[in-house]
Structures are given as C-alpha cells and as structure tokens.
C-alpha cells in the first residue's frame, strides 16, 4: 500500500513531466475500465436540521439559518422537477438530526423517490445495521458517508458536539452499511480539513479494508474541497487545482475499478478537464439548499456550501457529448421479487 511519504512526494512534484505522466496513466486506466462514460446524478436536500456542531458546515446546529424540512407534497414537487431534467440517479441528503429526520421520514422519502427514479442513494446521519436494512428494503441502493478527516485530534477540534463528534461510530459506519446489504458505498474526505497526505493514506487503507471484507460491494470515493460557508470564519487550508487533479489521478492509478465522484463545488473548467482523468460520476444541475429546485423562496436560501458549477443537466449533457463522452442517466434498476 502507498505510504504517506510517497503520497507527499507525488503531490509535491509539480513538474509538468510528472503531472503529465500521472494524467496519462489515469486517463488510460479510466478508459480501460469505464470507457468514455460519465454517470450523472442530482442531489436533493430534504432537511437542514442538524444536532451536531461542526465548525466547517453551513448546517451547523449553532448556525443561525432558517431550518426547513420537506413534507411529502414538497418532496413530490422537487423530485418531479428533477426527474423532468432527465436525471434518473437521485442522492437524498439531510442534516445530522435523528429527531428531525428519523428512519420513518427517510423511508417515506425513498418510497416517494421510487416513483421518479430507478436509483436512489442517501447521504444522511449514520445509522445502525438494522436501520440500513430497513432503508434497503424501502428501495435505497447506495449510501454516502464521509469520515471528513481521519486525524482523530483534528476530528475532535472541528466536530465539537452532537452524534457526529463520535469518531469511532462514524468510522465503523461503512461496515454497518455493508452488513445491511446495501450495494453501493461512497467514502470520502473533506480536502483541506486535515493533513492531505495523512487523510488520503488513511482513506485508501479504509477502502482496502472494506474491499477485503466486503468484496461484492460497489465502492466510490469523493474528495470535495473545503469551501467557506455562511456563518463561520473557519480557516480553509487551500488545495490548489494541480494538487486536486493529481489526487484524482493518483486515486485512479491505485484503484482502477473504483468510482470517483466530482461535485459542483468545483468550477466548470476544472470539471470539464477532470472527466478524462479518472472521474466516473458527477453531479449536475445541483442546488445545495432545501427546496432549491422548485420551492425556493427568500427564507430558504442557506446552502450547505456554494455551488461553483451552476450549469443545467442539459448543459452538462451537451458538454459531455462535445467531448465524445456518453452521459449515463442510470446504470441500475432494481427488480423487485415477483411472486411465482
């Protein structure tokens, strides 16, 4: 397995020759295993209620923002709007509040989403294995959970209170997801929150451990860069574009078959460039506040983070086609058990 020193040497070598060599290797591997395809998805924020105090997040429980939770009628309106763009992969997100978004609420959201989308993933507060099994039975296909940083000291500094402050419980979440039978798990770190080489090395080791213990699961990785958000003066450790691209390329060379996600936190030019260097899945037409697609009003314009790429789904599709890439709206449809 790659060491922290090796990661550090690769990321610090900014010579054009080294960058080009890494990019070429990543491009070749990506086309070998994934072809010229990019899967598209859209995130839908169901609620911004949160009971955890995380210093870097716009949904921080101590942040004075309007707290909103979609009801069933509003879910239908938002999902219908997204489905009309052609998107068939939906990512449902909430803040970290077990009280505001209990299991029953999540199951209701999945049940409604099944009417519009063949593939449903969630990015929510960590649950127990039995609860993940309930979500799977309701229709969930994938779960995203970021450790944020693997540095225990740094983790405790930025996760002040609430359930998310429990480092060990969050770290063990992917195992509980896998034990529940969920077919797709996305892991990730928040670049700029902790030491990059340590977090990358730890993330790679975590993925290796999961692949060894649960080889039948489809894994993907995400590396969102930390952005400034409303209501906080958090010191952001800047990760420049070249370093970010090298992280994507390095990951692809180490994990040829693993999916790599890219969100609208990144600017259009960088996203367009990254699709040939290891990215397999990207968000499109994203809104990062509750009710951001159809129900947006002056009272609910407090996003979790600012969107840098505001292009519509259609514009992203056209961009991909112009680069001879096939946009994939879904590659998964669950077949429910049919009685004999």
State the average pLDDT over residues 275-289.
94
| pTM of the model as a whole | 0.94
213-257 pLDDT, tens per residue? 999 999 999 999 987 665 556 656 679 999 999 999 999 999 999
Q: String of b and e for 25-50 (b: at least 16 CB within 10 Å)?
A: bbeebbeeebeebbbbbbbbbbbbbb
Cα maximum dimension of the chain:
63
Going along the chain from its start, the domains and CATH numbers come out as 4-325 (3.20.20.70)
pLDDT value at residue 234:
61
CA angle 251, 168, 234 (to 5 degrees): 70
pLDDT value at residue 15:
92
pLDDT higher at 334 or 304: 334
The whole-angstrom separation of Cα 155 and Cα 195 is: 11
The distance from CA 50 to its chain's CA centroid, rounded to whole angstroms, is 18
Mean pLDDT of the chain: 92
């Amino acid at each position: 397995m790659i060491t922290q020193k090796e990661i550090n040497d690769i990321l610090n070598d900014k010579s054009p020759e080294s960058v080009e060599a890494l990019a070429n290797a990543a491009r070749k591997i990506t086309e070998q295993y994934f072809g010229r395809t990019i899967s598209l998805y859209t995130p839908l924020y169901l609620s911004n209620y949160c009971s955890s105090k995380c210093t870097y997040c716009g949904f921080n429980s101590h942040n004075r923002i309007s707290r909103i939770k979609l009801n069933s009628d509003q879910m239908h309106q938002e999902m219908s709007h997204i489905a009309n763009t052609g998107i068939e992969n939906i990512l449902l997100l909430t803040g970290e509040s077990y009280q505001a978004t209990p299991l029953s609420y999540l199951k209701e959201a999945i049940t409604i989403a099944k009417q519009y989308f063949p593939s449903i993933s969630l990015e929510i507060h960590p649950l127990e294995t039995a609860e993940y099994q309930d979500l799977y039975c309701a229709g969930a296909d994938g779960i995203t959970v970021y450790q944020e940083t693997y540095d225990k000291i740094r983790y405790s500094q930025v996760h002040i209170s609430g359930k998310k402050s429990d480092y060990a419980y969050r770290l063990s979440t992917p195992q509980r997801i896998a034990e529940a039978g969920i077919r797709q798990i996305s892991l990730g770190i928040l670049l700029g929150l902790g030491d990059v080489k340590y977090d990358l090395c730890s993330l790679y080791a975590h993925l290796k451990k999961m692949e060894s213990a649960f080889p039948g699961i489809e894994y993907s990785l995400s590396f969102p860069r930390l952005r400034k958000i409303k209501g906080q003066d958090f010191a952001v450790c800047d990760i420049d574009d070249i370093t970010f691209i090298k992280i994507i390329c390095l990951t692809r060379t180490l994990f040829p078959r693993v999916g790599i996600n890219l969100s609208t936190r990144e600017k259009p030019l960088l996203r367009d460039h990254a699709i040939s260097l290891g990215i397999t899945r990207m968000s499109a037409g994203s809104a990062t506040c509750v009710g951001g697609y159809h129900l947006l009003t002056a009272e609910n314009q407090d996003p979790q983070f600012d969107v840098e790429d505001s292009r519509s789904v259609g514009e992203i599709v056209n961009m991909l086609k112009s680069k001879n890439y096939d946009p994939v709206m879904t590659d998964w449809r669950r077949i429910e058990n049919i009685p004999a």
